[in-house]
Amino acid sequence: MTSVPTRSPEVVRNDYETQLNQHWEAKTNDDINLLLGKADGLYHHHYAVGDFNRHVLAAPPDQRQRLILNEMHRMESEQVALIHDGLGDLSPSARVLDAGSGRGGTSFMVHDRFGCRVDGVNFCEHHLAFSQELAARRDCADSVRFHYANMVATPFPNASFQYVVTNETTMYVDLFEAFAEFSRLLEPGGRYVLVTWCQNDAVTAPGTSPEVDAINTHYVCHIHPRSTYFRALAANGLVPSTVRDLTAEAMPYWELRSHSDLSTGVETPFLDGYRLNRLNYLVIVAEKAKTTERATS
């Protein structure tokens, strides 16, 4: 049973969000995602870190493409360990928000790992219907709920979550607006786990990387400078405890994907961006400050 309202101006709020929504609503025959998830019902809209099994490239021609897709799917699923590890020792009674939940892959894997309740938010209607149906089929619809909502303006009360995660979704939002919302939603001491690709403004000025421009055009997104993440976290009382730069580890996935018949053309700018260190792959864990008041001595 699915419950997806039709497009609302309170959720899709402006010209950019309308353009973005239309992009995702139109992306329904994305075999590069749909074929990967078929075997186990985990559909991802993120990439991966770590090496691939190099033997697949030497596989017999009649098996090679299938093995490449299997390997990409293994890697995308294993990427969710970055989120699991960032969440740490999570109690089954905790509530987790998955902001920008796609077709549900990360939400299901967080629930499966910790037994906790997960709320996913997304404004793409076919993604939402798809993930709600999967939740019913996976028999976890009471615990893993997907909501038609804008991830920077959600319907949830203040301090209603102990954890927020974003798995490669923050290139679609204004970071100050998004982190203000996540900070509002988190209990004091709550944790935000963020996996993202970003523009390395330590080596190139914003707006000067053709690779970043090409990816932005491909996905209708805005890749943010690395430093903006930290400014926006600090501005919203979200204090980083872990920062991991996995740029080198993010490359093999794209190398493998460039050998797939389903490659989409975005492989080259990702590979070039990472190789030139203009694009970074980061994992950040941050805690919401228990108080934002400054101590007076």
Residues that bind Mg ion (CB under 5 A): 33
Query: From the list ligand GPP, Mg ion, none, which binds 30 (C-beta under 5 to 8 Å, kind-based)?
Result: ligand GPP
**Cα Rg for the chain, rounded, in angstroms?**
19
The crossing angle, in degrees rounded to 10, of helices 125-137 and 105-114 is 30
- Residue 169 touches which of ligand GPP, Mg ion, none (Cβ within 5-8 Å per kind): ligand GPP
User: Which residues, 6 or more positions from 151, have their beta carbon under 8 angstroms from its beta carbon?
Assistant: 99, 100, 121, 122, 123, 166, 169, 172, 173, 178, 181
**Min CB(275)–Mg ion separation in Å:** 21
Site string for ligand GPP, 202-221 (x = CB under 6 A): -----------------x-x
Cβ neighbours, 10 Å, residue 211 = 22
Tokens, residue 157:
């009360």
> Site map for ligand GPP, 115-154, x if CB under 6 A?
----------------------------------------
Q: CB-wise, 12 or 75, nearer to Mg ion?
A: 75
Three-point CA angle 183, 83, 244, nearest 5°: 85
Q: Please state the closest distance from residue 239 (CB atom) to ligand GPP, in A.
A: 25
Among 12, 45, 247, 283, binds ligand GPP (CB under 6 A): 45
The Cα–Cα gap between 211 and 213 comes to 5
Is the Cβ of residue 45 or residue 117 nearer to ligand GPP in the bound state? 45
Note whether 30 binds ligand GPP by CB under 6 A: yes
Closest distance to Mg ion from the beta carbon of 64 (Å): 19
> By C-beta, is 33 or 260 nearer to Mg ion?
33
Q: What's the min distance (Å) between Cβ of 71 and ligand GPP?
A: 14
In the complex with Mg ion, the residue whose CB is nearer, 34 or 289, is: 34
CA distance 14 to 20: 10
The residue behind tokens 């691939």 is 52
238-245 and 186-199 strand pairing: unpaired
Q: Which of 28, 208, 264, 268 binds ligand GPP (CB under 6 A)?
A: 264
Segment near ligand GPP (CB under 6 A), from 28-36, 60-68, 128-136, 204-212? 28-36
Q: Which two structure tokens, joined as six digits, stand for 161?
A: 């979550």
Quote the distance between the C-alpha of residue 262 and its chain's center.
21
Q: Which is nearer to Mg ion, 43 or 182 (CB)?
A: 43
Which one, of 288, 11, 214, 230, lies nearest residue 123 by Cα? 11
Rounded-to-10 torsion of CA 154, 229, 189, 290: -100
Q: Which is nearer to Mg ion, 33 or 106 (CB)?
A: 33
Q: Tell me if 262 contacts ligand GPP by CB under 6 A.
A: no
d(CA 224, CA 243): 16
Residues that bind ligand GPP (CB under 6 A): 30, 32-33, 45, 100, 102, 168-169, 219, 221, 264, 266
